[in-house]
Structure 1
Amino acid sequence: MIHAGVYYTPGSLKARFCLAGNQATKTFCDQNNICYDTCGKMLVATSELEMTRMRALWERTAANGLEREWLSAAELREREPNIIGLGGIFVPSSGIVRYRDIATAMANRFQAKGGEIIYHADVSALTEHAAGVIIRTSRGQEIETATLIGCAGLMADRLVKMLGVDPGFIICPFRGEYFRLAPEHNRIVNHLIYPIPDPAMPFLGVHLTRMIDGSVTVGPNAVLALKREGYRKRDISFADTLEILRSPGIRRVLQNHLLSGLNEMKNSLCKSGYLRRVQKYCPSLTANDLQPWPAGVRAQAVSPDGKLIDDFLFVATPRSIHTCNAPSPAATSAIPIGAHIVSKVQALRESQINPGRTLRAARSVDVLHAAFTR
């Protein structure tokens, strides 16, 4: 979806990049004839506790500069006849798009400007030297570049380690499992429907998402994956599991969220538990309405002291810049993230021209480069 920026800490990279990316994504779609729908997001509170949490979100949306509307229970029911709740917040700037279409358009533009895309080539080694970085692939290729830009997702920490740098975090894979509603329910909602999240939990909860093709998906949950690219329940890697168990940071995360983690695992194995979560605000759905749908895996950076790194995270070496933590809303924020990376590359090149300026490996929380262009 095209996020508006509801949940993110005011002033954070996520908050600023999402706000800029919401409009930049729509502009890119307009320029490239890509279909999107600004259908809006409805946040739904189903208890007094959630109403209290929703008031805090109301203040946060104001701090993040979002247009929004507070709805009573009656107004919510009028907008969404199949949704129940004590109240809601409507955010009109949220929307939906098929990001595969955006990625394809960007790839075509890249290739039209002379860029080459090499598929099915794992990075096996990186060597950084005074003049650049040498990349070696599993296909026996050797590529040299003056500046390396890394966006390795689930392998981000491993890519940084190849350069001999301690990234200061480890990637923990969380599988997000989805269902798709039966076709007769394609019109069950008019907007994107989100529950009010528990601020103590790191994820947003199971929601209803309208898709560009007219279907509606349910999800995701958040289950610890036992393989970096563990998109299926049966995907297990002994080496990856051992790495998880050996990580003090991940062990602490699991300890701090033990009960919720066990509930996620139970609901992953038992559809009825998953269903109850969505029935809180959409009670008419039944187990037969939930049809299988592909899962995704969230690459979540975890600090050594067991904190889920909340903001976007970048690591730089003298000849490279790496995007290391880019969970949601990274797709919405892709264009301003790209502008941020360009500004970092420019800084790297300036430091290479002027030996008096040096860059040490560091996590970057610099402001968005002022010369952001769409």
Structure 2
Amino acid sequence: MLRVISDMTPPFFFNSTFDVVIVGGGIVGLASARELILRHPTLTFGLLEKEKELAWHQSGHNSGVIHSGIYYTPGSLKAKLCVQGAALCYDYCDRKGIPYNRCGKLIVAVKLEEIPRLKALYEKGLLNNVRDLKLISAKEIQAKEPFCRGVMALDSPYTGIVNYKQVALSYAEDFQEVGGAVLTDFEVTDMEVAKESPLGSEEGMKYPVVVRNSKGEEIRCQHIVTCAGLYSDRLSEISGCSREPRIVPFRGDYLMLKPEKCYLVKGNIYPVPDPRFPFLGVHFTPRMDGSVWLGPNAVLAFKREGYKTYDFSPRDFLDAVAYSGLWKLVFRNISFGMNEMYRACILSAQVKQLQKFIPELTVSDVLRGPAGVRAQALGPDGNLVDDFVFDGGTGDIGSRVLHVRNAPSPAATSSLAIAKMIADEVEQRFGL
């Protein structure tokens, strides 16, 4: 029997046929399902999630930052969607009564040679129409963050924090309230276009696409949209798509300030990013529960959902290390990678990085915290895929499936804006 999440809404009659099925119960899949059903209330929609709960992986294991759009290339899709998405996120939370904290962010230069890069970020942010940006002096840094030291900072007061799992579950409530069906514990393992109706009737062929799970259960639909995150490449392969770009999982381990030391940090404190390296670097992130996360690092995860150092999946590991694109990335960033691995093992090494910003911090002030796994799309040339990738299947199913193969960070911040773009793409491809 198929499982339906029904605790959010009154029980409703469920059948196993839908006009459109969305695969993936993370924040992007849920936002997209919500947007589609609000646009097309006369159609039937189902959402499939392989876990027993929604928003269980990336959407429930992230920093919780509402980004303002500073880092991204002016005019790029990421820049536009982040700026739009942040405004939509704040508005949505206000309407739904979801708590957030617009605590701001400082990108802090701790060395004089970082100032040109900081000023370039400021100009980029202005071009992206990021709200209320300004450069501030060392004295102004301390007025905002009394324990932080730096020579200059970029102040982004529009940056905030929120619990994205709560936001994602609210999207699910919206979806169900207007008739959407959510099926959990349904891991999609196969999809195909049926040659004949199981009912032996013309009406049965109204839903020609068969979607099966690992337990042999199946549903039928007209169209499929996949937003599968860490498994987007494998799910795409099922429908005959290319294996590229591959998903290579990177784990980010956080430290946490001890509760009695959380007074050291008021808002987000970030380093000036080094263009030589592919990730932003360690930072200070306040959380909605009052805790403060420090980090993360970035190391290869040996399991796509491996949140612990010793988590290991032979298939996931072999998939990653057998991919030439990963080795090209590793060889280009060998010193960065070795440093990340060292800091992952040695607590004092990570604290030393953090002390550049808050000198008072000591090893005794921190605890090892949670981890997240980032679904990083990687091309065969070893370059991180930094934009959205849409793909379709081949053969009979090709015109009936849309794979969202990459929805890069900051996907949570941008989720409502991304959902509008995905819905536009769905309407264009499927003629809804």
Q: Same fold (TM over 0.5)?
A: yes
Task: Tell me the number of residue pairs that the alignment of Structure 1 and Structure 2 aligns.
Answer: 351
How much has 1:49 moved relative to structure 2? 2.3
Residue 311 of structure 2 is aligned to residue 227 of structure 1: no
1:114-125 alignment runs, 5 A limit? 114-125=179-190
For residues 429 and 387 of structure 2, the distance between their equivalents in structure 1, rounded to whole angstroms, comes to 22
How much has 1:185 moved relative to structure 2? 2.0
Residue 101 of structure 2 is aligned to residue 37 of structure 1: yes
TM-score (norm 1): 0.90
The Cα RMSD (Å) is 1.5
Residue 432 of structure 2 is aligned to residue 348 of structure 1: no
For residues 321 and 92 of structure 1, the distance between their equivalents in structure 2, rounded to whole angstroms, comes to 37
Alignment match of 2:140 (pick from 75, 87, 110):
75
Distance 1:132 1:298, change over 3 A: farther
| C-alpha contact 2:241 2:391 (8 A) present in aligned 1 | no
Distance 1:110 1:181, change over 3 A: same
SS at the partner of 2:175? helix
Alignment match of 1:169 (pick from 245, 262, 265):
245
| C-alpha contact 2:307 2:371 (8 A) present in aligned 1 | yes
| C-alpha contact 1:192 1:208 (8 A) present in aligned 2 | yes
SS at the partner of 2:183? coil
Per-residue CA deviation, residues 144-173 of structure 1 (Å, 9 max, x unaligned), is: 221111111110000100001104210010
| C-alpha contact 1:132 1:319 (8 A) present in aligned 2 | no
| Equivalent position of 2:149 in the other structure | 84
| Equivalent position of 2:406 in the other structure | 325
| Equivalent position of 1:357 in the other structure | none
How much has 1:128 moved relative to structure 2? 4.4
Residue 165 of structure 2 is aligned to residue 96 of structure 1: no
1:80-159 alignment runs, 5 A limit? 80-128=145-193, 133-159=209-235
Tell me the amino acid that sits aligned with residue 65 of structure 1: N
For residues 304 and 87 of structure 1, the distance between their equivalents in structure 2, rounded to whole angstroms, comes to 39
Instruction: Report 1 or 2 for greater relative contact order, CA contacts < 8 Å, sequence distance ≥ 6.
Output: 2
| C-alpha contact 1:298 1:327 (8 A) present in aligned 2 | no
Q: Which runs of 4+ in 1 moved over 6 A?
A: none
| C-alpha contact 2:389 2:405 (8 A) present in aligned 1 | yes
| Equivalent position of 2:116 in the other structure | 52
| C-alpha contact 1:180 1:215 (8 A) present in aligned 2 | yes
| C-alpha contact 2:192 2:211 (8 A) present in aligned 1 | yes
| C-alpha contact 2:241 2:392 (8 A) present in aligned 1 | no
Per-residue CA deviation, residues 35-74 of structure 1 (Å, 9 max, x unaligned), is: 0111111110011222121111111111111131111112
TM-score (norm 2): 0.79
| Equivalent position of 2:373 in the other structure | 297
SS at the partner of 1:274? helix
For residues 111 and 85 of structure 2, the distance between their equivalents in structure 1, rounded to whole angstroms, comes to 32
| Equivalent position of 2:419 in the other structure | 338
For residues 129 and 308 of structure 1, the distance between their equivalents in structure 2, rounded to whole angstroms, comes to 37
For residues 210 and 315 of structure 1, the distance between their equivalents in structure 2, rounded to whole angstroms, comes to 37
Decide which moves more: 170-179 or 60-69.
60-69
Structure 1 residue runs without a partner (length 5+): 354-374
Structure 2 residue runs without a partner (length 5+): 1-64, 196-206, 394-398
How much has 1:129 moved relative to structure 2? 6.4
